[in-house]
Amino acid sequence: MRQTKLFTGKITFQAVVILLLASCFYLYEFVVQVAPGAIAQNLMHDFAIDATKFGFIYACFYYSYTPLQLTTGLLLDRYSARIILTCVSAICAFGVLLFAYAPNMYVASIARFIMGGASSCAFIGVLHLAARWVPPAYFALFAGIVEMMGSFGGALGSEPFAVLIKYFDWRTIITWFAYIGFVLAILIALFVRNQPSDLKTFTPPKTEKNFIWNNLKIVLSNRETWLIGIYSFLIWAQILAFAGPWGAQFIHLSCNLDNVAATRAIIYIWAGVAIMSPFIGWLSDTIGRRCIIMTTCAIAGAVAMTLIIFLTNIPSVFLNILMFTLGFASAGQTLSFALIKDNNSPHTNSTANGFNNMCVVAGGFILPVLIGKILTITWQGLIQNNVPIYDLYGYQIALSILPICYLIAALISIFGIKETNCRMIWQDRNLPFIK
């Protein structure tokens, strides 16, 4: 019968190295995830496509990334995290290289699909290792730090890409990132280890033969897991639809900024996520509350998103504050993983995290294509340099679903999700424990 171990000791230098490398893969996959948004015009020109087809290319990342979240959680609960992370980081780098040499949108879509599938292990892999190398009292804080790493990746995929594209061909830049991915895979293989020695041990209640399905059944039968997942989906929606593919183009139009300045504004979203994620994790652990912070994030996001969409020519300082507020709002999903940990036992933890992360990124299945489709429907027929030009009204209609997502998230955190007071309440469910 398989045993799952829970860390109870102190953080060591080895733990820092291991978690840093795993977090770097999360940063890396975030760069390649959002980079097409910074080079959207280049891609639409080179592949001769409209907004709908560009949205499809962008969304192909999530067509594999999203459903595999649950699978990767199950695999990490059963097999070596070191081997899995090594393989998927190399596969991700191959997908990036294929994208760099894609002759048309079809090959580019396949490359994005490969990248998404390989990247599905990134965030869950870090949390899986953290559960074995970080004390439980610091887990929410560490989850925030991991989100900060991902935000750095999002920032690197925004303005720096827009600046580099002025001096280098986009294919050259993407190729560089492919090589970086291969180097990262080698480092993970050399230095990452699955867990320290001398851990307390939990034994799954079912046999090894039925391990995967029993874990899945336990996770999906938990009402709180579903509510937390829905909140996660709604609170992260603007990252998938705004900070990624469409935000820079909308800001370019609504605020009369060039591409570099528009992508620079997007960086403030990632700065908000980066700074506020660890702060929110620390604050939650300090005050012993989760839901009130999640509600505050959702309401702040609804207000900021509404102002960004419907105000025009926003002064740069105010625009940056609103963008930072969006990042702060989206950082609320950090606590969703802390709640998942509170509500699920260690032997189902990675499976539950995988389900929650699947919910977080499920919007990538729908939103990029949906917004692109709305833009295509409202298109007035204007073309410049063989690229369709979409007007402000079309963007406002397409993006108006985002503040609605925030409001629904606020209602769920107020009336749906039960406060755990930062306690691991899964212990009340009488799961087996073996010392």
Question: What number of helices (H) and strands (E) belong to the chain?
Answer: 21, 4
- 433 within domain boundaries: no
> What pTM was estimated for this model as a whole?
0.77
- 303 within domain boundaries: yes
- 435 within domain boundaries: no
User: pLDDT per position in the chain (435 positions), as tens?
Assistant: 444 555 555 777 888 888 889 999 999 998 999 899 888 889 998 998 988 899 899 989 999 988 887 777 678 877 888 999 999 999 999 999 999 999 999 999 999 999 999 998 898 888 888 888 887 777 767 777 887 788 888 888 888 888 888 889 999 999 999 999 999 999 999 998 887 765 555 444 444 556 667 777 888 888 889 999 999 999 988 888 888 788 888 998 999 988 888 888 988 998 898 888 888 888 988 888 899 999 999 999 999 999 999 999 999 999 999 999 999 999 888 898 888 888 887 777 777 877 888 888 888 778 888 888 899 898 888 887 777 888 899 999 999 999 999 999 999 999 999 888 777 766 555 444 333
- 2 within domain boundaries: no
- 201 within domain boundaries: no
> Look-up: residue for tokens 């090589």?
179
Quick one: tokens of 391?
């007007």
Task: From 222, 199, 207, 246, select the one nearest 372 (Cα to Cα).
Answer: 246
- 428 within domain boundaries: no
Task: From 350, 85, 94, select the one nearest 191 (Cα to Cα).
Answer: 85
- 220 within domain boundaries: yes
CATH number at 408 reads 1.20.1250.20
Rounded-to-integer distance, Cα 37 and Cα 161, Å: 9
Q: How many CB atoms lie within 10 A of CB 366?
A: 16
The pairs formed by 142-146 with CB atoms below 8 angstroms and a separation of 24 or more are: 142/19, 142/281, 143/277, 143/281, 143/334, 143/337, 143/338, 144/277, 144/278, 144/279, 144/280, 144/281, 144/282, 144/331, 144/334, 145/23, 145/277, 145/278, 145/281, 146/23, 146/26, 146/277
Task: Tell me the β-bridge partners of 238.
Answer: none
- 244 within domain boundaries: yes
The count of structural domains within the chain is 1
Rounded-to-integer distance, Cα 128 and Cα 349, Å: 8
Q: Which domain holds residue 92?
A: 11-196+207-422
Rounded-to-integer distance, Cα 313 and Cα 304, Å: 15
Rounded-to-integer distance, Cα 284 and Cα 280, Å: 6
Largest CA distance in the chain: 69
Rounded-to-integer distance, Cα 254 and Cα 69, Å: 36
Task: Tell me the β-bridge partners of 384.
Answer: 387
Rounded-to-integer distance, Cα 274 and Cα 144, Å: 8
